[in-house]
């Protein structure tokens, strides 16, 4: 494996739909106020923050030994493909790049964005880092909903329109729910190993069957919230119901461990398709 491929693997590109979706949806909601330059900066913030989260998790879980017997995709610290300090630096560099883009946006709109960005970066690091990582206590999904749902979507809308509306909140809900579903399926896959290491994710706390039902509930809420935008065009998101149904059926089956890995990719695919159709509906409306 080449050095470049190692770092690409560490960045975990399959998780990037969680960064792309909120910017895409918010930009469509902005309508005539769409600003490609500000949208591009918002996308840069979201993507590099997601990459920073991934490297930070790789580092923190690696030094704790949580990934020493991992079921899912290879983590580069635990597998010895990169040193812990190198991965930690990669996380900080990613946060720095996101911060520079955020600083430019703040100078163009509101300096309050700096404070919001700082809180987002702290939340990203504290998810698995520090003495009491909240991701080990079952609060990861709440954080994802807030930062990759509400903050990312409403923030991307604000930097283009310089206003916050009820509509920007409503469209952020389905975005956040599917982002949570990505984390939920990841935690369902790792539930047994996490329990052994004392990592009490929401999947560990809920148990196997309830955590799978929670995943399905997130998708149901996402579809329902999209329809609550009260635009007839939102009905086009229902075209994804067959995919949602198949994915839900597979998650609620008895698949465990490695057999759940393909479902993470399918959830990411659903997120991109949902965001694309939802964005189209908002644009047409």
CA-closest candidate to residue 153, choices 259, 282, 285, 13: 282
Domain ranges for the chain, please list them. 29-162, 165-285
**What is the CATH code for 165-285?**
1.20.120
pTM above 0.75, yes or no: yes
Alpha helix (H) residue ranges in the chain: 3-11, 17-30, 36-64, 84-108, 112-126, 140-145, 152-161, 166-189, 191-196, 202-206, 208-227, 241-251, 261-284
Alpha-carbon distance 201 to 22, whole Å?
Answer: 24
Of residues 89 and 258, more confidence is placed in 89
Q: How many CB atoms lie within 10 A of CB 254?
A: 7
Among 5-9, 143-147, 175-179, which stretch is predicted with the lowest mean pLDDT?
5-9
Alpha-carbon distance 283 to 236, whole Å?
Answer: 12
C-alpha triplet 247, 253, 258: angle, nearest 5°? 85
Q: Is the pLDDT of residue 74 over 80?
A: no
Average confidence score pLDDT of the chain: 91
Q: For residue 1, what pLDDT is reported?
A: 63
Q: Check: CB of residue 149 under 8 Å from CB of residue 176.
A: yes
Instruction: Please report where in the chains the tokens 């949806």 appear, as a residue.
Output: 25
Q: Is the pLDDT of residue 142 over 70?
A: yes
Mean pLDDT of 186-207: 88
Q: For residue 260, what pLDDT is reported?
A: 86
Q: Is the pLDDT of residue 232 over 80?
A: yes
pLDDT level of residue 151 (50, 70, 90 thresholds): very high
């Amino acid at each position: 494996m080449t050095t470049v491929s190692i770092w690409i693997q560490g960045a975990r590109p399959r998780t990037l739909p969680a960064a792309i979706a909120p910017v895409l949806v918010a930009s469509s909601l902005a309508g005539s106020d769409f600003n490609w330059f500000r949208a591009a900066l918002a996308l840069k913030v979201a993507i590099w923050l997601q990459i920073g989260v991934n490297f930070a998790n790789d580092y923190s879980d690696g030094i704790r030994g949580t990934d020493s017997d991992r079921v899912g995709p290879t983590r580069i610290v635990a597998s010895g493909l990169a040193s812990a300090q190198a991965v930690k630096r990669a996380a900080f560099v990613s946060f720095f790049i996101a911060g520079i883009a955020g600083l430019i946006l703040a100078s163009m709109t509101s300096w309050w964005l700096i404070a919001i960005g700082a809180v987002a970066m702290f939340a990203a690091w504290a998810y698995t880092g520090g003495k009491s990582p909240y991701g080990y206590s079952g609060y990861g999904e709440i954080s994802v909903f807030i930062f990759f749902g509400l903050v990312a979507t409403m923030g991307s809308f604000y930097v283009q329109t310089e206003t916050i509306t009820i509509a920007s909140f409503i469209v952020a809900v389905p975005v956040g729910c599917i982002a949570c579903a990505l984390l939920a399926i990841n935690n369902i896959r790792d539930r047994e190993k996490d329990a052994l290491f004392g990592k009490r994710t929401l999947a560990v706390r809920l148990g196997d069957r309830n955590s799978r039902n929670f995943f399905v509930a997130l998708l149901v809420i996402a579809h329902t919230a999209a329809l609550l935008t009260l635009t007839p065009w939102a009905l086009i998101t229902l075209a994804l119901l067959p995919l949602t149904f198949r994915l839900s059926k597979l998650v609620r089956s008895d698949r465990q461990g490695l057999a759940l890995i393909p479902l993470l990719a399918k959830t990411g695919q659903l997120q991109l398709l949902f965001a694309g159709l939802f964005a189209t509906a908002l644009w047409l409306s």
